[in-house]
Amino acid sequence: MLRGFEPYTKLLAGTRRVAAHPDAVREFAYDWRLSTERAAARLAEAADDHLRAWRAHPHGSRDARLTLVAHSMGGLVARFFMTALGGVRDVRTLITLGTPFHGSVQAAGLLGSGSGTPLPLPRRRLRALARTLPGLYELLPGYRCVEDPTGDFRRLTPADVESLGGDRELAQQSLDRREKLNESDAGTLPQLRAVVGVGQRTPQSLTLADGTAELREYVPDGDTRLDRRGDGTVYREAATPAGRTPSTSPQSHGALARSEEAVAFTGSVLTERPLGPPLGATELGLYVPDVATAREPCPVEVDLVDNPVAVELQVIDVSENLEIDRPRLSRRDGRLRADVRLPWPGLFRVEAKCGGFSAVSQLVLAVAGD
């Protein structure tokens, strides 16, 4: 949901390569539809079990502590575990990749319009489902993101969520919980290392009218509006607790955890070496529709780069890991663009590379024309 996630295979493999032993690495799966409080309680049990086993392991240490590596909402689960459940005493470092500490306006958009997923799902049914999911309310934006007709910006309220068809009580609980956790972050998350996306077109604010939310790609900056971008799902300032300086990456939200730079960053933190290569040479922006019709033109646009020859595009069939095209960009209406024809229905990855850094990528689902 919300532009799709890539598998964590590369991140897990890279982490195991630098760990003292493969047994030192443990995966933790959770149900994002439920509250972070519930997931954090399960994480506390898994963390205690893993730490106890590693301290007794032949390659382990009785003084060992945990390093948590979390993508997206996983960072909210880890923060609740550390802050509200006292897990901070057993954690050495928390690495977050694209975590919406201050929420994402796409969550409000999903409640208000039924849009925001990469799949062509029935919007009315999707809205009805979304209203029942406690985890979705955890992703609601907590910053000044609602633009009033006067042009002023304010925070999203539980009454606003109710006007979109959401559950007012669930909204109140989640917004109160986030405010309380944000207030305590400074004292309880000294170990945080955040990586945020910065180069992609990202909804950052919204307007409300007639029970729907219209998403906007800007935030207030004094008397003006400024496009701060992000990873396509979480805008850059929303992905870091207040007062923290993150590391930045041009990657999209779903691809953050699989990028070579994020894997190198995680390994460097784990082994306490210098933090590896920069997480991207440029704020390369890639726009690909979530859904396209197979065998018809699918527009691919690249932002923040002037020279079309400097960018390499590649289209890959995800299921077969097969390259199917290397389209060329051309300048149209002041933007770099290519029309790609996806040859058959399925899931494809479009990658854009500029310079010696890993490619920025975005998933697109090709559907049959009928």
| Whole-number pLDDT of residue 186 | 56
Q: What tens-digit pLDDT sequence spans the chain (370 residues)?
A: 445 567 899 999 999 999 989 999 999 999 999 999 999 999 999 999 999 999 999 999 999 999 999 999 999 999 999 999 999 999 999 999 999 999 999 999 888 764 544 445 566 777 788 889 999 999 999 999 999 999 999 999 999 999 998 999 999 999 888 877 877 665 567 789 999 999 899 999 999 998 889 999 999 998 899 999 999 999 999 999 878 889 999 899 989 998 888 898 999 898 875 555 455 545 688 999 989 999 999 999 998 777 778 889 999 999 999 999 999 999 887 789 999 999 999 999 999 988 766 788 999 999 998 7
| Whole-number pLDDT of residue 2 | 40
Q: Give this prediction's pTM.
A: 0.83
Amino acid, res. 236: R
Instruction: Name which of 240, 330, 336 is nearest 285 in CA terms.
Output: 336
| Whole-number pLDDT of residue 118 | 47
| Whole-number pLDDT of residue 124 | 72
- The DSSP code for 274 is -
Distance spanning both ends of the chain, measured CA to CA: 24
| Whole-number pLDDT of residue 1 | 43
Instruction: Write the secondary structure of 34-95 as one string of H (helix), E (strand) and C (coil).
Output: CCHHHHHHHHHHHHHHHHHHHHCCCCCCCCCCEEEEEECCHHHHHHHHHHCCCHHHHEEEEE
The two structure tokens encoding residue 94: 């928390």
Residues whose CB falls within 8 Å of the CB of residue 305, separated by 6 or more in sequence, listed in order? 282, 284, 285, 311, 336, 354
For residues 173 and 157, what is the distance between their CA atoms, to the nearest angstrom? 11
- The DSSP code for 111 is H
Amino acid, res. 370: D
| DSSP assignment string, 246-263 | -EEE---GGGGGGSHHHH
Angle between helices 105-113 and 123-130 (to 10 degrees): 120
| Neighbour tally for 236: CB within 10 Å | 21
| Whole-number pLDDT of residue 85 | 92
CB 361 within 8 A of CB 252: yes
